[in-house]
Amino acid sequence: MPFVRIDALGAGPQRLDALGRAVHEALMETIGIPPDDHFQVLVGHDGTNGTLRYGGYLGVRRDEGLVYVAITLRAGRTDAQKRALYARIAELAHEYAGTEPRNVFVVLTENASVDWSLGHGLAQYAPGPGALM
């Protein structure tokens, strides 16, 4: 169950929706999440009340089209799955939202099953009361 946060500079509702769809589809295609496993926070920054900082680290020339994608998910995906995910997010963000692939910055944070509560104050993925497994 990934939890996704997408922050984009100068993005309105339509672009944020397109970026959210891009990330969700990439997660379904590359790591096999189900269609209804859809938990996202989409935030547009206008450069005045909120902004994003970026540089040209590792020779990647970013600009005001920058999108940060932070995905938290349970550990267990292979390096190949992660690489496929990054590539597909960049591809679909370009296709759906017009975001240049060089401006798509993705970070994954992995954790354990007990680190999730999907509601009712229970750790549904962890062994014990309320477990789904």
Please enumerate in sequence order all residues whose Cβ is within 8 A of that of 127, keeping only pairs 6 or more positions apart, or say none: 133
Catalytic status, residue 129: no
Q: Which of 85, 71, 15, 84 is nearest to 41 (CA)?
A: 71
Q: Whole-angstrom Cα distance, residue 45 to residue 11?
A: 7
Directed axis angle between helix 13-31 and helix 79-97, to 10°? 150
Distant-in-sequence, close-in-space partners of 33: CB < 8 Å, separation ≥ 6: 1, 2, 27
Place of tokens 């497994």: 133
Question: What are the catalytic residues?
Answer: 2
